[in-house]
Amino acid sequence: MLLFYRYEYKLLPPPDPKATRVFLIKRSDNNPAKVEWEQRVPELPSDVLQDSLYGAGAVELHLRKILVEGEKAARRMN
């Protein structure tokens, strides 16, 4: 499983960029919903994807949006 990153924000107003912390996350190979470990890092690595999980409905909506945008782009090219 790849490493991912996540942000942790302080939710108290006013929002302060210095209050944002970045963590590297390692998810389980057998269960992607399970975090095996996480480690705070001083800055965001450039070669790591953002951590997120989608439910089935959210995945369907996201993929539909990608497909519709792809169809629109293909029509513009023709």
pLDDT of residue 36: 93
Q: What is the DSSP letter of 7?
A: E
Query: For residue 28, which of 48, 4, 63 has the smallest C-alpha distance?
Result: 4
Task: Report how far apart, in Å, the C-alpha atoms of 30 and of each of 3, 23, 38, 54 are.
Answer: 15, 21, 17, 17
For residues 43 and 22, is the Cβ–Cβ distance under 8 A? yes
17-37 confidence digits (pLDDT tens): 666 788 899 989 998 888 999
- Tally of structural domains, the chain: 1
pTM here?
Answer: 0.54
Query: For residue 21, which of 42, 50, 51, 47 has the smallest C-alpha distance?
Result: 42
What range does the domain containing 17 cover?
3-77
Asked if residue 4 has pLDDT above 70, the reply is yes
Give mean pLDDT, residues 52-78: 83
